[in-house]
Amino acid sequence: MDDAVPETPPAAEEEPARDSAAPAPLNVPRTPTGDAGVDAALGRLGDADHLATDGHVEVYEDVHRGLRDALTALDVRPGPPAPPTPPGPRS
């Protein structure tokens, strides 16, 4: 029988206490869309991670404006040409 005292495991490093009122990253994943303008606007959402809650509105409004502009730009682009008009009846 072994009378040795079991070795106490080393203490884990304690994480510093986090202030619940301090800004914290949301770590929301953002999947690239393939559109550079849209991806840039969505990437801007990460800026809110480092701001207090009252600073989020400015970021969200900026992102909303960028996404709205991207959608508006879709309406401005010329679409495909209209199909040719069939000839009318001959008289």
Give pLDDT tens digits for 64-79: 999 999 999 888 767 7
Question: Which tokens go with 33?
Answer: 């869309």
C-alpha span between 59 and 65 (Å, rounded): 10
Evaluate if pTM is beyond 0.85. no
Give pLDDT tens digits for 45-62: 888 888 888 889 999 999
DSSP secondary structure letter of residue 62: H
- Please tell me the predicted confidence (pLDDT) of residue 7: 67
Question: Which tokens go with 76?
Answer: 């401005």
Mean pLDDT computed over every residue of the chain: 80
**Residue 5: φ, ψ to 5°:** -80, 130
